[in-house]
């Protein structure tokens, strides 16, 4: 058999794929639905490659000049090889590529990515194979239905950063959903962020601590929200901060990062103490500016007075939420 063959989906194919996805449970594993999961992940990767949402492009270099290849010069397509579906990334202007990201070369299909002399000329990924590789590190790759519907099958616009979904993530309390995934040692594969930030370089040794921390986050948020189905945006800001930093901790370069852990703990304490009542009818008029400061402290390598700075930043977020919220009173 020849190498992978280019494959193009027509709009009707995407409609059918979306319909199949709609019929699936909220989270399903590659191991359980390998064909559907591979299609969803491949489409997600292919759509992001070469756009401003491409988190892989900055690691693709020209080995002759040592400079990064501009994303605009990279091309991507879906490919089929027998029953397998995947995605191919290459550059028409470069016959050799260099990947400068720890762990990513191990995810490439060696048959179709490297020449006989070992040089890399294109990047071919088969998501079903990625799931098997991840399983060797005690990691189960999954598709999160609603995330896929919102991004891959939503209003995808390659000119918009991250599909402009940050507010959607906040409003839908994705921190809780992500915590549940990590607690079960699961990672989603829907796009380049998942591939580059989480799966490349993943190590089984990180899971005991990461899973335990995710359990703490899940338990705290479940107690906080209880049976409440529609929390106020005001009550979701701190959980959103926790989710962003938990995502950081699930990235191999950040495993065990002290700054993230300390800020998460401070935010969890504020949540657990009910400083923002999720049942009180708050209408947040402005997103807290202190949020970015808290993220900066968490990601800063300076650990001096870390606990105090983290607490101060979280306190400032709480204060801003109260000062920039309108409380609706029953008539």
Confidence of residue 266 (pLDDT cuts 50, 70, 90): very high
Mean pLDDT, the chain, whole residue set: 93
Confidence of residue 283 (pLDDT cuts 50, 70, 90): confident
- The per-residue pLDDT for 167 is 66
Helix (H) or strand (E) holding 166: helix 166-171
- Does 259 or 151 have the greater pLDDT score? 259
- The per-residue pLDDT for 281 is 83
pTM here? 0.93
- The per-residue pLDDT for 280 is 86
Buried b (16+ CB within 10 A) or exposed e, 241-255: bbbbbbbbbbbeebb
Is the pLDDT at 159 greater than 70? The verdict is: no
Helix (H) or strand (E) holding 106: none
Taking residues 245-263, report their average pLDDT. 98
Q: What DSSP string describes 196-255?
A: IIIITT--GGGHHHHHHHHHHHHHHHHHHHTT-SS--HHHHHHHHHHHHHHHHHTSGGGT
């Amino acid at each position: 058999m020849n190498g992978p063959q280019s494959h193009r989906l027509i709009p009707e194919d995407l409609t059918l794929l979306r319909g199949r996805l709609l019929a699936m449970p909220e989270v399903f594993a590659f191991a359980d639905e390998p064909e559907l999961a591979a299609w969803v992940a491949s489409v997600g990767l292919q759509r992001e490659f070469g756009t401003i949402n491409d988190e892989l492009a900055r690691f693709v270099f020209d080995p002759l000049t040592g400079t990064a290849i501009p994303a605009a010069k990279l091309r991507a397509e879906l490919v089929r090889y027998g029953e397998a579906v995947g995605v191919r990334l290459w550059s028409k202007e470069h016959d050799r590529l260099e990947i400068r990201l720890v762990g990513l070369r191990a995810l490439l299909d060696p048959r179709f990515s490297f020449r006989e002399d070992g040089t890399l000329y294109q990047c071919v990924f088969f998501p079903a194979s990625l799931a098997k590789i991840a399983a060797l590190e005690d990691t189960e790759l999954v598709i999160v239905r609603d995330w896929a519907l919102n991004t891959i099958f939503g209003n995808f616009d390659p000119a918009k950063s991250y599909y402009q979904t940050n507010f959607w993530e906040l409003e839908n309390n994705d921190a809780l959903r992500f915590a549940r995934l990590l607690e079960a040692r699961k990672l989603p594969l829907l796009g380049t962020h998942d591939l580059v930030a989480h799966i490349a370089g993943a190590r089984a040794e990180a899971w005991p601590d990461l899973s335990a921390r995710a359990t703490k986050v899940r338990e705290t948020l479940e107690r906080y929200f209880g049976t409440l189905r529609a929390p106020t945006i005001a009550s979701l800001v701190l959980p959103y901060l926790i989710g962003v930093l938990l995502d950081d901790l699930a990235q191999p370069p950040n495993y065990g990062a002290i700054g993230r852990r300390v800020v998460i703990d401070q935010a969890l304490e504020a949540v657990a103490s009910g400083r923002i009542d999720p049942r009180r009818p708050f209408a947040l008029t402005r997103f807290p500016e202190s949020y970015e400061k808290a993220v900066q402290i968490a990601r800063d390598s300076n650990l001096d007075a870390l606990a105090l700075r983290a607490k101060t930043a979280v306190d400032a977020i709480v204060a801003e939420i109260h000062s920039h919220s309108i409380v609706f009173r029953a008539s």
